[in-house]
Amino acid sequence: MITVKTSRRTLHSAFFAATMLILACNNESKDSVEKADSANKAKVDTVKKDESKAAIAVNKTDADFLVKAMEGGMMEVDLGNIAKQKSQNERVQRFGAMMVDDHTAAGEKIKKLGSELNVTLPHMTGDEKSKKIRELNEKKTSKFDKAYIDDMVDDHKDDIKEFESASNKVENADIRAFIMATLPVLRKHLDSCTAIQKSLK
C-alpha cells in the first residue's frame, strides 16, 4: 500500500516536472526581440484597457522603433568586435572599432530611453541577426573583409531609411531627438564603409 502511494506521488512529480519543462521550452522558443515586442504590446494593451495604469509611456510604434534600433546596434557592436579581431586590413579594423564605439554609445542612449519610458528592450540579437553574426564569423579571413563591408553598406542604407521613416512617425520628442542626433552618425558610417568597399574591389 505504501509502495503504491509512493509510486503515484513519484509519477505526479514527474508529470509536473515534464509539464514545466515543456512550458519553459515554449517560452525559450521566442528570441529576445520577440519577447521584448510581446512585453511592450502587453503594456500598451494594459494602458488601452485601463487609462489609470501608466504601464508604458509611448505608443507601439515608438516602442517598436526602440526595440529594433537596440537590436541593430547590438549586431553592429558584435560584428565590429569580430572585424577588429579577424580582419587583417587596417581600414576594416578601424571601421570595426568605430562601430563598437559609436553603437555602444547609441545603445546606452536607447537603454536610458527604454528605462525612462518603461519600454522592454532585447538583451541580445534575435534569431535572424544572430545567424548573420555567426555566418560572418565563420568566414575565412581571406573572404571576411569583403563580406563584412558589403553587409555594412547594405545594413547602413537600411538603417538610414528606417531612421528617416521613424523620424516622421514617432510621437515621443525624446525618441525623435535621438533619431535626429543619430542620423548624421549613420551617414558617416555609410560614407566610410562605401569608401572601403570600393578599395576592396
CATH at 194: 1.20.1260.10
Please, which residues have CB within 8 angstroms of residue 91's CB and are 6 or more apart in sequence?
Answer: 196, 199
In sequence order, the 6+-apart residues with CB closer than 8 A to the CB of 76 are 99, 100, 103, 155
187: domain range? 31-200
Q: Are residues 23 and 104 in the same domain?
A: no
The count of structural domains within the chain is 2
The set of cell numbers assigned to 124 is 541580445
108-167 pLDDT, tens digit each: 999 999 999 999 999 999 999 999 999 999 999 999 999 999 999 999 999 999 999 999
Closest to 160 in 3D by CA, of 123, 113, 199, 194: 194
Q: Are 23 and 46 contained in the same domain?
A: no
Q: What is the pLDDT of residues 67-82, one digit of tens each?
A: 999 999 999 999 999 9
pTM for the model stands at: 0.75
